[in-house]
Amino acid sequence: MHGTESRQAWRPLNVVVAGGGTGGHLFPGIAVAGEFIVRNANSRVLFVGAGRPFEKKALALAGYPQRTIDIEGIKGKGGWARVRAAMKTPAALLHAAGILADVKADLVVGVGGYAAGPVALAAWLKGIPMVVCEQNTVPGITNRMLFPMARRIYVSFENTRGKIDPAKMRITGNPVRPQILAAAAIGADQRDPFTVMVVGGSQGAHAINQAVMAALPLVRSSANIRFVHQTGAADQDQVAAAYLKTGIDAEVKAFFNDMASRYGQADLVVCRAGATTVAELTALGKPALLIPYPFAADNHQELNARTMVDRGAAQMVLERDLSGSGLAQCFDRFAGGPDLLADMASRSRALGKPEAARVIVDDCYQLVGNQACI
Ligand SMILES: CC(=O)N[C@H]1[C@@H](OP(=O)(O)OP(=O)(O)OC[C@H]2O[C@@H](n3ccc(=O)[nH]c3=O)[C@H](O)[C@@H]2O)O[C@H](CO)[C@@H](O)[C@@H]1O
> How does pLDDT run across 294-338, given as a tens digit for each residue?
999 999 999 999 999 999 999 999 999 999 999 999 999 999 989
Q: How confident is the model at residue 187 (pLDDT cuts 50, 70, 90)?
A: low
161 belongs to an annotated ligand binding site: no
What pLDDT band is residue 3 in, cutting at 50, 70 and 90?
very low
pLDDT of 192 = 75
Q: For ligand 1, atom 21, which residue shows the shortest CA distance?
A: 202
Cβ of 25 less than 6 Å from ligand 1: yes
Is residue 307 lining ligand 1, measured as CB closer than 6 Å? no
- Ligand 1 centroid, distance to 102 Cα (angstroms): 31
Please work out whether the CB of residue 156 comes within 6 Å of at least one atom of ligand 1.
no
In angstroms, what is the span from residue 9 Cα to ligand 1's centroid? 34
Residue 174 Cα to ligand 1 middle (Å): 12
Q: Say what percent of the chain tops pLDDT 90.
A: 87
**Each residue of 77-122: pLDDT tens digit?**
778 888 888 889 999 999 999 999 999 999 999 999 999 999 999 9
For residue 6, pLDDT beyond 50:
no
Question: What is the chain's mean pLDDT, rounded?
Answer: 93
Whether ligand 1 lies within 6 angstroms of the CB of 143 is answered as no
222, pLDDT greater than 90: no
Residue 152 CA to ligand 1 centre (angstroms): 23
Whether the CB of 277 sits within 6 Å of ligand 1: yes
All structural domains of the chain, each given as residue ranges with its CATH number in brackets, are 4-176+354-368 (3.40.50.2000), 180-351 (3.40.50.2000)
Distance in Å, CA 94 to ligand 1 centroid: 30
Indicate if the pLDDT at residue 2 is higher than 80. no
The predicted complex's ipTM stands at 0.98
Determine what percent of the chain is predicted with pLDDT higher than 70: 95
Confidence (pTM): 0.94
Question: SS3 sequence, the chain?
Answer: CCCHHHHCCCCCCEEEEECCCCHHHHHHHHHHHHHHHHHCCCCEEEEEECCCHHHHHHHHHHCCCEEECCCCCCCCCCHHHHHHHHHHHHHHHHHHHHHHHHCCCCEEEECCCCCHHHHHHHHHHHCCCEEEEECCCCCCHHHHHHCCCCCEEEECCCCCCCCCCCCCEEECCCCCCHHHHHHHHCCCCCCCCEEEEEECHHHCCHHHHHHHHHHHHHCCCHHHEEEEEECCCCCHHHHHHHHHHHCCEEEEECCCCCHHHHHHHCCEEEECCCHHHHHHHHHHCCCEEECCCCCCHHHHHHHHHHHHHCCCCEEECCHHHCCHHHHHHHHHHHHCCHHHHHHHHHHHHHHCCCCHHHHHHHHHHHHHCCCCCC
- For the residues 194-207, what does the mean pLDDT come to? 96
